[in-house]
Structure 1
């Protein structure tokens, strides 16, 4: 729905902006020939110029969001270079506690990148929860959902709350899948709380 709303917003502004260059629609011409009184212009030029300005603003935000997403994915994939292509879990030697689900390209399932600092902060059972959480992101393609709402929010800033909600919900979705994987909701809650506090 966010994608449809963003596309509808862009299309509406494009139609408004097009009145600067297009002639009156045929239906308007026919109506005038029938003697029906119609305004000389269907839309004031000021509104069309405002629509052009908004389209440029939206295009700038959209391109910036696409570039940021591309650079982020590229940086995460660079961290995985040098590992065999069938390696799903990569442990990076780092004092910064982090865990990422890195979506794969077409035909690739993706990878999980965890730092040694994050693994060291968790018990063995809590590590299982963390990995199950990240695996759920890959299995259910949460990265794609987040990318779609991020790009939609870039086109239409009023969709920013939708983006925050979707990101929150996919995290809860992964939490529930992790709890189902380890069959221990209490341990899942402890692990996720400890991971979040450690990363924070």
Structure 2
């Protein structure tokens, strides 16, 4: 994993870990460091990828939750990452008896999409450069400087929002830093009101 991080085509930072907290996370997850999720959880507080656009949850820090903090045991869901616009990546089964795959909740369509890949393959693709194409329609000129200036617990609220017709061009939208949990909650509440699945 360290080799993949070092070879990433965009700036990627491995956050320092807290040993005791990381061990508790591993015990809660019931996994070992032989998996990519286990290794990231045990050996880092998390990962900031592509100037901090994507924040991958690991063992947790003061400004980034650990991967077990945002888990939903009832649905076997782990929120493994979030992006600066309030999108979320979750590792969960598409059906109750199936193996988990990575799903993405997008701030531009307010729906969950099954990416059809496991955790290690997803993170490997992220570190190999997949974010550039994945987020192509959600970026604006100079986004790198805006995003790099944020803390991991901050996101960028855009108005009009990216899920609206008026908000499709984020270069002309108003952009304001706000706490990421508020931004995520705003998108999910809007999806609920619009009866999105």
TM-score by length of 2: 0.24
Q: Which has the larger radius of gyration?
A: 1
Identify, as 1 or 2, the structure richer in strand: 2
